[in-house]
A and B are shown apart, each in its own frame.
Chain A
Amino acid sequence: MRSNRASVRRQLRIGRPAGEVWDLVGDPARLAEWFPGIVACDVDGTTRTITTGSGVPMPEQLLTIDPLQRRFQYRITAPLFTEHLGTIDVIDLDDGTSLVVYGTDADPATLALVIGGATGQALERLRTLLEGDQIATGPAPGPAAGRR
């Protein structure tokens, strides 16, 4: 099979209740707080535009924000993508912790890995923010903050 589509999945257990995790994950305007390398995030209705650290604007269509299932889905609509679907599920583990699963499906395949690879770091940042009881007020730190 020579498909040019790929699927990448990252997951992480977070030591906070699912509702608390969802409060952050389910708010589309707060993405820059926990996704490293996003310097701006503007939401207008069902459209979200993020700006990456390299200055690339990436328009997105918000597809699903379901607080009952705690599922967030969006589609990157930048021309580089033939297809994209991002899915974040926050799963209650019934012990005061939750499992966050971040799936990235994309055509071209390379972009699935470029975006999906970054989601692992995003989940780590999410865990740090939530388990550290930190109040997120600005963009997640990129490499510049820690390298000197």
Chain B
Amino acid sequence: MGRKILFVTTDQQRYDTLGCNGGLLARTPVVDGLAAGGIRFERAHPQSVVCMPSRSTMLTGQHPSTHGVWMNGVPLPVDAPSVADVLHGAGYRTALIGKAHFQPYLDPFLRFEENAISSDGEPAGGTHRGFEHLVTATHGPVGPLHYARWLAAEHPESIGGFYQVLDGSLQVNDAGGGETGAPQVAINPIDRGWYHTDWVADRTIAWLDSLPADDDWFCWMSFPDPHHPWDPPQSEVGRIDWRDVPLPAGYPGRPAERRRIIDGKPRHWRLWYDGELVSNYEAPARWVPASLTGDQLREVLARDAVECELIDEALGRVLAAVEQRGWGDDVDVIFTTDHGELGGDFGLLFKGPYHVDALMRLPLVWRPARSASAAPAVVSRPVGLVDLAPTFCAIAGVEPPGWMQGRPLPVTDGDADTRGFERVLTAWDSELFGVDVHLRTMMRDHWVCSVYRPGTSHDGTEGELYDLDDDPLQRVNLWADPERRALRDDLVADLEDHQPPVRSPRLLLEAPV
């Protein structure tokens, strides 16, 4: 009997929403406890700051350029490499419960396997991407996914309480709600037990209960929250009064200050802030960030924190079930998310081609199985989600396949230094409705360096350079600073030298998301 793996992901969760990372709003004792007994990573970055590319990286252990899912709406081929396939081949029982999103959701033709399987039930007599059990959910009762079908069958009266994610034009909805009119906020009267967070945990527990005691297993428990919409069960919203929420350090209070900071960055920042250019589908197309008020931000952050608390409590229930099965000493738990959330930084919400800590610095906690006797540690060196798949292989005692581009996560800074964890890469590509944006970013030492390829708003000379030691909020773009020119050239050369192989032919964009 080997080590079992509980891989827990959330969606669009900021680093600073966990108590163990200094967060003060949400109470997250379960993850904090895992961090105290395990390894907490201070510089874990995604390889893309949107869902489909990032999730594909977690599954394949490859950078977006290589697995080919270069933006949301580009489906990951069904025969793409999968760590679940590797583990299943090594004798592991495998499940993915919750949000998958390796293929687009907007699929009226039901031509994508993920949606078809969800519509039918689950993979019959085999596996899908290496998962023998696949139960899907997303941010509400939408699509053909298992959660939506369950809710429609069991509690149809609760469907109308969710925020309508898309508007009548199938654009991401900008309608405001709650008490402040904040975008993507709604008062959702749903019973807590019927909300997708607890639903995902319940299905995880049920699957684990179905396994023989001595089976090894890899379970990806994938919570759709705290991704917008911010419509947690209203019964829980009172945990945090939005009026008591302090405005975050990353939110410049005065509009003139926000504009001044943004104007130091490449021009698509300001164009989006003013509502003049929408470069991606992940934020409401008609919402103008400059209209965000402090109170709206407070209400969003309060609801976001409630969703983080519900996830923490749901994880606690799953861990209790694991203990009850007698597996407590043999389970590795890895907790992370696919990307961050702007969360008011620079006066912005949601996500997009903005490679700053709000979107790139992720919560990552690995609590190795107690039987492994690993010492608790904090790792400050840069790691990526691309390192997760090889880590799962290492836990399972399987040699990571050659197609994986990451390496097993370091367990200490010394281990990271020995194995050369010096830099982490992130890429953005989007081409939607005549607007394209392309950037490549590297975090190395205490620098974040982004280069822009030519696109709708850029001629290819633009860039961003931030000193995280002196400017942790990334307010001062040093790209054009003559005194940093040599450093910038060195970082850019290093970034370009380490670009991963590019899949050819390029996969096509097949849906908005």
Q: Is the CB of A4 within 8 A of B169?
A: yes
Contacts of A110 in B (CB 8 A): 106, 166, 169-171, 281, 512
Q: What string of 1s and 0s marks CB contacts (under 8 Å) between A70-90 and chain B?
A: 000000000010000000000
* Chain B 260-286 residues near chain A, CB threshold 8 A: 281, 285
Q: Is the CB of B512 within 8 A of A114?
A: yes
* Chain B 498-513 residues near chain A, CB threshold 8 A: 508-512
Contacts of B107 in A (CB 8 A): 37, 54, 114
Q: Is the CB of B106 within 8 A of A37?
A: no
Tell me, rounded to whole Å, the shortest Cβ–Cβ distance linking A137 to chain B. 20
Q: What string of 1s and 0s marks CB contacts (under 8 Å) between B359-380 and chain A?
A: 0000000000000000000000
Q: Is the CB of A113 within 8 A of B73?
A: yes
Chain B: CB-nearest residue to A38? B109
* Chain B 145-166 residues near chain A, CB threshold 8 A: 166
Q: What string of 1s and 0s marks CB contacts (under 8 Å) between A31-61 and chain B?
A: 0000111100000000000001110101000
How many chain A residues have a CB neighbour from B under 8 Å?
30
Chain A: CB-nearest residue to B75? A117
Interface presence of B120 (CB below 8 A): yes
Q: Which of B110, B124, B144, B510 contacts A148 (CB 8 A)?
A: B124
Given the contacts A6-B433, A147-B116, A148-B124, A114 and B110 also touching, CB distance less than 8 Å: no
Q: Which of A54, A58, A109, A118 contacts B510 (CB 8 A)?
A: A118
Q: Is the CB of B110 within 8 A of A142?
A: yes
Chain A: CB-nearest residue to B432? A113
Interface presence of A111 (CB below 8 A): yes
Interface presence of B117 (CB below 8 A): yes
* Chain B 297-346 residues near chain A, CB threshold 8 A: none
Interface presence of A19 (CB below 8 A): no
Q: What string of 1s and 0s marks CB contacts (under 8 Å) between A104-121 and chain B?
A: 000011110110011011
Given the contacts A110-B171, A113-B512, A118 and B117 also touching, CB distance less than 8 Å: no
Interface presence of A68 (CB below 8 A): no
Q: Which of B73, B111, B508, B509 contacts A37 (CB 8 A)?
A: B111
Contacts of A56 in B (CB 8 A): 108
Contacts of A117 in B (CB 8 A): 73, 104, 508-511
Given the contacts A6-B433, A114-B512, A52 and B108 also touching, CB distance less than 8 Å: yes
Contacts of B295 in A (CB 8 A): none
Q: Is the CB of A52 within 8 A of B170?
A: no
Give bound CA distance, A142 to B78, whole Å.
13
Give bound CA distance, A52 to B116, whole Å.
12
Interface presence of A135 (CB below 8 A): no
Contacts of B433 in A (CB 8 A): 6, 109, 113
Interface presence of B405 (CB below 8 A): no
Contacts of A37 in B (CB 8 A): 107-111
Q: Is the CB of A108 within 8 A of B144?
A: no
B contact face: mostly helix, strand, loop, or mixed: loop
Given the contacts A113-B511, A114-B512, A108 and B170 also touching, CB distance less than 8 Å: yes
Q: Is the CB of B510 within 8 A of A143?
A: no
Contacts of B166 in A (CB 8 A): 110
Contacts of B180 in A (CB 8 A): none
Q: Is the CB of A120 within 8 A of B512?
A: no
Give bound CA distance, A26 to B115, whole Å.
30
* Chain B 14-50 residues near chain A, CB threshold 8 A: none
Tell me, rounded to whole Å, the shortest Cβ–Cβ distance linking A13 to chain B. 14
Given the contacts A111-B170, A142-B116, A54 and B73 also touching, CB distance less than 8 Å: no
Q: Is the CB of B124 within 8 A of A143?
A: no
Contacts of B106 in A (CB 8 A): 110, 114
Q: Which of A54, A80, A108, A111 contacts B110 (CB 8 A)?
A: A54
Tell me, rounded to whole Å, the shortest Cβ–Cβ distance linking B159 to chain A. 17
Contacts of A142 in B (CB 8 A): 109-111, 116
Chain A: CB-nearest residue to B511? A117
Q: Is the CB of A120 within 8 A of B508?
A: yes
Interface presence of B113 (CB below 8 A): yes
Interface presence of B212 (CB below 8 A): no
Interface presence of B412 (CB below 8 A): no
Q: Is the CB of A36 within 8 A of B169?
A: no
Contacts of B281 in A (CB 8 A): 110
Q: Is the CB of B170 within 8 A of A114?
A: yes
Chain B: CB-nearest residue to A110? B170
Chain B: CB-nearest residue to A6? B433
Q: Which of A10, A35, A108, A143 contacts B169 (CB 8 A)?
A: A108
Given the contacts A111-B170, A113-B511, A117-B510, A148 and B123 also touching, CB distance less than 8 Å: yes
Tell me, rounded to whole Å, the shortest Cβ–Cβ distance linking A49 to chain B. 14
Interface presence of B128 (CB below 8 A): yes
Chain A: CB-nearest residue to B125? A148
Q: Which of B104, B116, B128, B510 contacts A53 (CB 8 A)?
A: B116
Give bound CA distance, A147 to B111, whole Å.
11
Contacts of B108 in A (CB 8 A): 37, 52-54, 56, 58, 114
Q: Is the CB of B111 within 8 A of A121?
A: yes
Q: Is the CB of A36 within 8 A of B117?
A: no
Tell me, rounded to whole Å, the shortest Cβ–Cβ distance linking A133 to chain B. 24
Tell me, rounded to whole Å, the shortest Cβ–Cβ distance linking A61 to chain B. 18
Q: Is the CB of B111 within 8 A of A36?
A: yes
Tell me, rounded to whole Å, the shortest Cβ–Cβ distance linking B511 to chain A. 5
Tell me the B residues contacting A by CB distance below 8 Å. 73, 78, 104, 106-113, 115-117, 119-120, 123-126, 128, 144, 166, 168-171, 281, 285, 432-434, 508-512
Tell me the A residues contacting B by CB distance below 8 Å. 2, 4, 6, 10, 35-38, 52-54, 56, 58, 80, 108-111, 113-114, 117-118, 120-121, 142-144, 146-148
Between A and B, 20 residue pairs with Cβ closer than 8 Å are: A4-B169, A6-B434, A10-B508, A53-B110, A53-B111, A54-B109, A58-B108, A110-B169, A110-B281, A113-B433, A114-B106, A114-B511, A117-B509, A120-B510, A121-B111, A142-B110, A143-B112, A147-B113, A147-B117, A148-B124
Q: Ordered nearest first, which 3 A-B pairs have the shortest CB separation? A: A37-B109, A53-B110, A117-B510
6 further interface pairs, Cβ-Cβ under 8 Å (given A54-B107, A54-B110):
A110-B170, A113-B73, A114-B108, A114-B511, A114-B512, A147-B117
